[in-house]
Amino acid sequence: MTSVSRPSSQHSSHARPLRKVFVTGMGGQLARELVATAADGAEIVALDQSQLDICDRDAVLRVMHEVSPEVIFNAAAFTAVDLAEKESAAADRVNHLAVGFLAEAASVSGARLVHVSTDYVFDGLSPLPYQPDHPTAPASVYGRTKRDGELAALRAPDALVVRTAWVYAHHGKNFVATMLRLMHERDEVRVVSDQVGTPTSANGLARALWSLVDAGATGNHHWTDAGVASWYDFAVAIRDEAAALGAAKIGRARVTPIRTTDYPTPARRPAMSILSKDATWALIGPARHWREELREVLSRMELPR
């Protein structure tokens, strides 16, 4: 169990520090950033899968009764998009059924549930950014289970669902870490150029989640960094920013654009998954551009030379 108390004498950007917060999925990149960006004076109880199986209803209810949190952040998810096509029952247990248990626990204990969802709940066919109230139409098992999880979360009073996309951090397994490794190992990497969305720093997302809780937000909201990019654009930026930080070998890697049809996968990815953040940004302020966030994240990493 990870329990962190922030002394009230420290500086905080949060107006009203929460007394006790529960975070699932500890060890994952978002949960770690939620702990790192917690408000001064807040006590954070964060558990990983080995400490709490959120698919176990009795265990969830028992732990929530013991902790008695004001807010529950659900940062746990089955995120292996392609594996979900083969292991749909496992994906549904984590992304849907377990969220229902957390919603039940929140209802019983009087806590607010904050659930993190994904752009994959949409079909990716819209030429315009998806609004929070746009009808969902998932095209993959992962997207369907996350959509069903949203519906389960919203059964809890005052629940907040935040959809995001392309999340990465300076730690853990993510696209940035993968690209850095491949660019260091190879002369060329081939990256899909016809899937468009927005890279999102886990640190920026965590800060946004805290701000949304402070603002009393409920229902569906969207948050990503500002701007848009294809996966190819993102990869080129990773190479160039890493090179600017001294990773010379990475800077020499060639990034070649390919089409989705050139790299078939079991799960269909959204071609256009830009989320409209207007309402969220009006409430808590806008995000920084994704390239600024990328530069900051890379500066915190030990880059291969």
**Catalytic center residues:** 142
Asked if 102 and 143 touch (Cβ cutoff 8 Å), the reply is no
Asked if 98 and 72 touch (Cβ cutoff 8 Å), the reply is no
Terminal Cα-to-Cα distance of the chain (whole angstroms) = 36
Sign, CA dihedral 136-141-143-148, equals positive
- Amino acid identity for residue 128 in this structure: L
Rounded Cα–Cα distance for residues 273 and 287 (Å)? 17
Name the token pair of 57.
């209803």
Question: CB-based burial of residue 59 (10 Å sphere; 0-12 exposed, 13-18 middle, 19+ buried)?
Answer: middle
Name the token pair of 288.
């920084």
Rounded Cα–Cα distance for residues 243 and 240 (Å)? 5
